[in-house]
A = this chain, B = another copy of it.
Amino acid sequence: MRSDPARLSFEIVARDGDARAGVLRTPRGSVETPCFVPLATRGSVKGLVPDEVADAGYGMVLGNTYHLMLRPGGERIATLGGLHRFMGWEGPIITDSGGFQVFSLAFGGVADEIKGRRGRPPLDGGVLGIDEEGVRFRSYIDGSERFLSPERSMELQAQLGSDIAVAFDECTPYHADYDYTARSTERTLRWLERCLDWHRDGGPPGQAVFGIVQGGVHEELRRASAEATAAAAVDGIAIGGTLGRDKEQMGAVVAMTAAMTPPAAARHLLGIGEPDDLVDGIAVGIDSFDCAVPTRLARHGMVLAPLPDRRYRYDVRRRAHESEPGPLVTGCPCAACTRFSRAYLHHLSRAEEMTGARLLTIHNLVYSQRLVAGAREAIIAGRLSAYRESIHAGAAPWEAS
């Protein structure tokens, strides 16, 4: 770990057990933690404009290097003044490395697969080759051959001009065996050094770099990865790779891995964002999360709600909601719940109207934001355990105590 306030500083303002409330400071502004980071995958939080994301309580978004390198390209965004200016977002931006997407292609799955919920798929999906140098793959847009490596990923993230770049890693899936995972984890550490080498000279002055802890579900691999990552000149720690076959194992792997990282480090958990996972992750010391869940669910008519027995969601397209004059979730302060009925959002979602996807996106993002903001308050008040139990028992974020 290095400490350079000109890039990033992380101040812990309160602790409650292993959980922490903090402030993450970047040259483009500060974000209170724990926080959730919405995805601006291709340069927009799908359906929203930046003001709406900020109004939902968010200070930071995540841009996808993989998607942006394919379209419109890192050079073009650099020419146009960087990703902040391109998309009209003035606050901090994290960019991922592109590794997750490109290895999802290779291993055949996306998030569900990486998290171990599927059987082993064939290696293909546009990936032409993986070796020590990097990954060759075909663009899903025009079929052209592309290359991603530690250096290229850092160069792209420099072109995007994000405030937090993430080192290029091999994201191993759950079905990989111990030996593969061990070799892959070692390679990720070699790639981290190459990322930091490139960034030392080529990185934008204010850009922080997070290393990614890999190691699958194996304690000794996670420990080796965590220790080596913390020993490198990184500004923060991200936890990546497979977290196990189910939520129970995921909780254990996240808790174990968080405890292996330095207490002062900002800890980001990649790709996790269901309501119970957020409060559980916060309880074991995660400071930030990014995930497609709230925004992707919204585009499929799924509404985040205090329903622990139903994975904290319901399908507003179901007939049961067709005549409901009340809001999506009682008491929710979002623009969808305060202005429109569940019956109207049922109708818009069934009719596949853009306005419906957009309003549900706002709801799901406000719901997630209130959940983590409530956890922060609870940490400061020393009652996170009760808050977490309350969320698990079916309380809405604004009524959990």
Contacts and interface: CB of A to CB of B under 8 A. Distances in A.
A350 B71 contact: yes
Given A322-B72, A348-B43, A355 B48 contact: yes
A165 to B, nearest CB: 21
Contacts of A325: 80-81
Interface in A318-333: 322-323, 325
Contact of A323 (B79, B322, B339): B79
B71 A355 contact: no
A220 interface: no
A353 B42 contact: yes
Contact of A71 (B44, B76, B339, B351): B351
Contacts of A351: 42-43, 71
A47 B44 CA distance: 15
Contact of A354 (B79, B335, B344, B358): B358
A49 interface: yes
Interface string A295-323: 00000000000000000000000000011
A71 B339 CA distance: 21
Interface in A338-395: 339-341, 343-344, 346-348, 350-351, 353-359
A355 B86 contact: no
A87 B341 CA distance: 9
A88 interface: yes
A138 interface: no
A46 interface: yes
B43 A347 contact: yes
A46 B344 contact: no
A179 to B, nearest CB: 40
Interface residues of A, number: 38
B44 A86 contact: no
Given A49-B359, A80-B341, A72 B347 contact: yes
Contacts of A81: 325
Nearest to A42: B351
A325 to B, nearest CB: 6
Contacts of A353: 42-44, 46
Contact of A343 (B47, B72, B341, B359): B72
Given A323-B76, A353-B42, A86 B344 contact: yes
A377 to B, nearest CB: 30
Contact of A341 (B42, B86, B322, B359): B86
Contacts of A87: 344
B88 A347 contact: no
A334 to B, nearest CB: 12
A76 B325 CA distance: 11
A343 B76 CA distance: 9
A250 to B, nearest CB: 31
B46 A86 contact: no
Contacts of A323: 76, 79-80
Nearest to A68: B347
Interface string A136-178: 0000000000000000000000000000000000000000000
Interface in A78-92: 79-81, 86-88
A398 B357 CA distance: 33
A273 to B, nearest CB: 20
Interface string A52-94: 0000000000000000000110001001110000111000000
B47 A354 contact: yes
Given A86-B341, A358-B354, A347 B71 contact: yes
Given A42-B353, A80-B341, A88-B344, 8 more contacts: A46-B353, A46-B354, A47-B47, A49-B339, A49-B358, A71-B351, A86-B343, A354-B358
